[in-house]
Amino acid sequence: MNNSEKRRDLIYQIQSLAQTLSTETALFHQAAAAKLCLGITDLKTISTLLQEGPLTAGQLAERLNLTTGAVSNVIDRLEQGNFVKRTPDIKDRRKVIVTFNQEKLSSTNKVYHSMGEAFEKLLEMYTIEELEFLIRFYNQTIKLTKLEIAKLKSWR
């Protein structure tokens, strides 16, 4: 096999593995959400708030690609479970700021603890250079995915 064929084969394998990983990750998050008696969108809302900090309902709707009505229902469910709280926006009283309830973090973290430990063990196997490569890869993958999300949103 020449270098061009080998490269094409490796790219195919990576794309196939990435697709499998995406499916398995989605299924893991579905199972994690079920353990917390939440839906996957509820869990991704929590994840977004943990990563990005407090957001308005409109910002959450935009970030999660939901309608304002759908995001209101998500916030209602999460507020009922004491996962989030709503506070009026002091700059614009028509808006509410949604904040994750830090006291619920331990129950949320329980669901991910084993996975976190497993990944830590896995990453211990890699050299510093390989870890730096993985960081670059994930950063580029996130950037590319956000661009593709924007493309999908602009389809009419």
| pLDDT tens string 18-70 | 999 999 999 999 999 999 899 999 999 999 999 999 999 999 999 999 999 99
Q: What is the pTM of this model?
A: 0.84
Per-residue confidence (pLDDT) for residue 108, from 0 to 100: 77
- Is pLDDT at 115 greater than 80 in this prediction? yes
Per DSSP, 37 falls in state T
Class of domain 3-125: mainly alpha
User: Which pair of tokens denotes residue 7?
Assistant: 């490269």
CA-to-CA separations, 14 to 77, 78, 100, in angstroms, rounded: 38, 37, 36
Give the containing element (helix H, strand E) for 117.
Answer: helix 105-124
- Is pLDDT at 104 greater than 90 in this prediction? no
Question: Count of CB atoms within 10 A of residue 61's CB?
Answer: 19
Q: How many helices (H) and strands (E) does the chain have?
A: 6, 3
